[in-house]
Amino acid sequence: MRVLVTGGAGFIGANFVHTTVETMPDAEVTVLDKLTYAGNPKSIEGLDRVNLVVGDIADMDTVDPLVADADVVVNFAAESHNDNSLNDPSPFIRTNIEGTYTLLQAVRRHHTRFHHISTDEVYGDLAIGEDRKFKPGDPYKPSSPYSSSKAASDLLVRAWVRSFGVEATISNCSNNYGPYQHIEKFIPRTITNLIDGIRPRIYGTGLQVRDWIHVLDHNSAVWEIINKGRIGETYLIGANGEKNNLEVTRMILAEFGREPDDFDHVNDRPGHDQRYAIDATKLEEETGWEPQYRDFAKGIHDTIQWYKDHEDWWRPQKAAVEAKYAKNGQ
């Protein structure tokens, strides 16, 4: 099977590439990645049957021949950080919307199976303490430039299925954690701050809830959907991992032997989504998927160890990331 993985040098895509070549001896993987600040070729270095093409998913001349050579396209490529989208939305429009459009036109032309990776944030947010989770048919109510650009990309996929018969599926996953995540994101930022002796930064109250899933569970669900999902359908991926940001910070502080209040409250994120939570019943019932990494405390312990062991991977970016946050009072 020839698999084209866009964004395969980023966090989730790189983990997907690793698992794919480890578990599928017949898979040949081509990664198409622009290598933005978030893409790191080291994350997929030295893997057998993996070929990296550096290029833009919004550039048809690059995309078309790669799609023509693929049996399936899995689209992880995106601008993915909410805070960046608040500072400058433009690359989010270009990559997330125009990039998805370009891929859709190519898979349409070559009749190639397409799986689009999206996020639970397209549904907006839930109230803290509310007894409700996101379901596949819920209305789209994105809050940020990032999540609205992802929502737009999902709608393009749905239209290309309906109007042009493109064979596509969509998955909307909750917050991922694990190895190779960029240190701008909450968990790796907190871990690498503590390695550097910097106090973790909590936006606002810290009572916001995220539904954490290990990246390898996300990716096993993606393969289940590619293999067993119904064309045109949307599947929500989540592992019942709701925790608020204070709880997560305190778990990480405890791992470093620090006091539970050894953090700083900083400026809140404008428009900050309060709570995400996924109902994954449809995915579980239709594909039989279930998460393997259910022990969040162990997952956090192992992730901390990974960042301790891979300082060469993240160190070059740490000072610039913190300088950017400092400008926002975060």
- What residue ranges bind ligand TDX (CB under 6 A)? 80-82, 119, 121, 175, 185-186, 189, 201-203, 208, 210, 245, 269
Please name the residue that has the structure tokens 């960029």.
Answer: 182
Task: Give the separation between CA 175 and CA 147, rounded to whole angstroms.
Answer: 13
CA 321 – CA 314 distance, rounded (Å): 10
By CB under 6 A, residue 12 contacts ligand NAD: yes
Among 3, 21, 30, 34, binds ligand NAD (CB under 6 A): 34
Residue 26: helix, strand or coil by DSSP?
Answer: coil
Chain residues 127-166 in contact with ligand NAD, contact rule CB under 6 A? 150
Residues 6+ apart with CB under 8 A from 23: none
**CB of 39 or CB of 200, closer to ligand NAD:** 39
Q: Minimum distance between the CB of residue 262 and ligand NAD, rounded to whole angstroms? A: 25
Is 121 annotated in the active site?
yes
- Catalytic residue, from 28, 33, 56, 120: name it: 120
Whether 235 is catalytic is no
The answer to whether residue 154 is catalytic is no
Q: Would you count residue 58 as binding ligand NAD (CB under 6 A)?
A: yes
User: Is residue 78 involved in binding ligand NAD (CB under 6 A)?
Assistant: yes
Q: Which is nearer to ligand NAD, 12 or 251 (CB)?
A: 12
CA distance linking residue 299 with residue 108, whole number of Å:
39
Nearer Cβ to ligand NAD (57/304): 57
Instruction: Give how far Cα 68 sits from Cα of 187, 266, 270, Å.
Output: 38, 48, 42
Phi/psi for 173 (5° steps) reads -105, 160
By CB under 6 A, tell whether 107 contacts ligand NAD: no
- Burial letters for 226-260: b for 16+ Cβ neighbours within 10 Å, e otherwise? beebeebbbbbbbbebbbbbbebbbbbbebeeeee
Stated as kind and residue range, the H or E segment containing 31 is strand 28-33
Residue of 123, 146, 235, 307 marked active site: 146
Residue 117 interacts with ligand NAD (CB under 6 A): yes or no: yes
CA distance 226 to 117: 11
Q: Which of 28, 33, 224, 242 binds ligand NAD (CB under 6 A)?
A: 33
The active-site residue out of 56, 121, 125, 217 is 121
Give bridge partners of residue 214 from the DSSP assignment.
177
In the complex, least distance from residue 128 CB atom to ligand TDX, rounded to whole angstroms: 11
Which letter, b or e, does each residue of 293-321 get, where b requires 16 or more Cβ atoms within 10 Å of its Cβ? beebeebbeebbebbeeeeebbeebbeeb
Dihedral over Cα of 299, 285, 230, 105: its sign: negative
Stretch that binds ligand NAD, among 73-81, 226-234, 273-281, 285-293 (CB under 6 A): 73-81
**Among residues 108, 133, 182, 189, the one that binds ligand NAD under rule CB under 6 A:** 182
Catalytic residues: 120-121, 146
Positions touching ligand NAD (CB under 6 A) are 6-7, 9-13, 32-36, 38-39, 56-58, 76-80, 95, 99, 117, 119, 150, 173, 175-176, 182
